[in-house]
Structure 1
Amino acid sequence: MKELIRFAAHLEMNFGPGVPFHDRWRAARRSGFRGCEFVWRNVELPAAAELQKAEPLAVSCLGGTTGAAAGARPVLILPEDRDRLMKDVETATAYARELSCRNLVMVSGNMIRDWSVEKHREEAVRSLRSIAPILEEAGVTALIEPLNSKIDHKGVYCDTSAEGFRIVEQTGSPNVKLLYDAYHMQVMGEPIVRTIRERSGLIGYYHLAKVPGRTEPIGGEIDVPAFLEAVADTGYDGFVGLEYKPSGDYRDVFRRLSDAYPEQIDGQDPIDENYR
């Protein structure tokens, strides 16, 4: 029997500026989402745990452990950041355990001048091997997310799923997998459905947004029903994170998504108009 794939709201990207974290959480819950993801650095753990108890939402993954550029630290590929990475992973896995979350999102970092692709990969693998014992003990998976280098993340090192799979395979830990972001990989021209069907054993989580524009996934270049069918056919039983920027008021967008995907967003609790 196929798994029913449900969507998780992204509590940073799916909202405009100025909306408090607790309002974002409650709005997602009361719009019919049953899962969410957010950057763990942006909220104190007790506050998140209290919200989860009061307004139950599964936390499907936690972002923010690594940065893409040197301005956001630690960076996965930098040897000088490795000790800091290990400490941050210890903190992140504490969040994950408390919130019953299985996944931490990590990005590769930007290309370093005069480094070969192989050098970038070697350093990424070393960093991941250094944190693998922490992940394995905690029962948490690090998700390597390839990002598109054509529009949103020019200069990023890992910009294809093929390179991401190499990192995962060479790390050799069951607690290191790939986050397959359909938006990023569509921008890079990858065959999304075929990749999912052929490499699902190395994929631990999925993201989705519309191409072009990175808004809510209604219309656009990605065949969302075919994407969801491919994911379900692999036996995947987790969430698909909606990492999009809303094209309008987030409440209107949530309603449009619920109408477009009634199975992925069950809509049992209508959105409360008091939430901004």
Structure 2
Amino acid sequence: MKFSLNHMTAPAMPIADFLDLALSLGIHAVEIRNDLSGNAILDGTTPGEIRKLAEDRGIEIISINALQRFNDWTEARAREAEELIAYARDCGAKALVLVPKNDGTGREDGQRQQNLREALSALKPLLQEAGITGLVEPLGFAICSLSSKQEAAEAIEAVDGAGVLKLVHDTFHHHLAGEPALFPAMTGLVHVSGVTDQAVSVAGMRDSHRVLVEGDDRLDTIGQIRALLAAGYDGCLSFEPFAPSVHALADPGAAVRESIDHIRAAV
């Protein structure tokens, strides 16, 4: 198993310290984010600076997370996409995560699929030219405009996007969506987190419930990982906990190390 660290694991940690955290865990792949206030990328850190920090440590930036509302394609979204793709290219990132609208709009059958294909058709040449992979991440929330990996896979095929566009399998969103199908050959990245709160319903689960993977995880993240690996997935398992309890840890490295040990032993 190959592990990766998403900056959401320790969002207040400056980028250099975050990269050092990954190294201390023997992890040589990270995801950086464009939604962390006061941190790279929003603080104005140049892509060249990010590239040097990573190269000096022998770390690969596997993605920038993320182009939000990508399936609401507008002139403003196109400009945002061009800027993020250029940043990914220049900092050495291999991919850009694509996150759909998640506000209850754009869910109408027919229009939903049309919007998705329009966006992917527009993104495909931009990504191709930069040598960047687009990672489509369906979200399992009921209000999301793209919850189904099946629908995402069909859209990628419809725009002849194989090789440029892949799927993100997120263990949290897979559980919420209740969609059993796996797409290992089309999966470019797996996000892992767990939910240990026994009181919250599945429908009530939110990002704030997402902790590191532990023994009492309700998402069956271990089962999902086993199934993906058995089906041929050989990419990274990237830790992406959103829970404030994780972000407040004085020693996040120790907690991630425990989670890695648990996953290795259980899988």
TM-score (norm 1): 0.75
Distance across 2 between alignment mates of 1:96 and 1:16: 19
Change over 3 Å in CA distance of 1:56–1:263 after alignment to 2: farther
Change over 3 Å in CA distance of 1:251–1:235 after alignment to 2: farther
Distance across 2 between alignment mates of 1:99 and 1:236: 26
1:144 corresponds to which residue? 136
- Secondary structure of the 1:132 match is helix
Q: Percent identity among equivalent residues?
A: 21
Gaps of 5+ in 1: 68-74, 266-276
2:18 corresponds to which residue? 24
Offset of residue 171 of structure 1: 2.7
Trace 1:190-229 onto structure 2 (pairs within 5 A).
190-191=179-180, 195-196=181-182, 199-212=183-196, 213-219=209-215, 220-229=217-226
Change over 3 Å in CA distance of 1:118–1:257 after alignment to 2: same
Cα deviation digits, residues 210-267 of structure 1 (max 9, x gap): 02421001121234443333333343332121111363454534323324424989xx
User: In 2, are the aligned partners of 1:187 and 1:211 still within 8 Å (CA)?
Assistant: no
User: In 2, are the aligned partners of 1:111 and 1:120 still within 8 Å (CA)?
Assistant: no
TM-score (norm 2): 0.78
Change over 3 Å in CA distance of 1:255–1:230 after alignment to 2: same
Task: Return 214-223 or 246-255, whichever deviates more.
Answer: 246-255
Trace 1:95-110 onto structure 2 (pairs within 5 A).
95-110=87-102
Question: How many aligned residue pairs are there?
Answer: 240
Change over 3 Å in CA distance of 1:156–1:114 after alignment to 2: closer
Change over 3 Å in CA distance of 1:114–1:38 after alignment to 2: closer
User: In 2, are the aligned partners of 1:104 and 1:141 still within 8 Å (CA)?
Assistant: yes
Tell me: higher relative CO, structure 1 or 2? Use CA pairs within 8 A at least 6 residues apart.
1
Distance across 1 between alignment mates of 2:114 and 2:24: 44
- Secondary structure of the 2:81 match is helix
Within the alignment, does 1:163 sit opposite 2:151 as a pair? yes
Change over 3 Å in CA distance of 1:99–1:236 after alignment to 2: farther
Offset of residue 145 of structure 1: 0.8
2:165 corresponds to which residue? 176
Change over 3 Å in CA distance of 1:223–1:156 after alignment to 2: closer
Kindly provide the amino acid, as one letter, of the partner of residue 208 in structure 1. V
Change over 3 Å in CA distance of 1:111–1:255 after alignment to 2: closer
- Secondary structure of the 1:162 match is helix
Within the alignment, does 1:123 sit opposite 2:115 as a pair? yes
Supply the RMSD in Å over aligned alpha carbons. 2.7
Offset of residue 111 of structure 1: 5.5
Distance across 1 between alignment mates of 2:168 and 2:236: 12
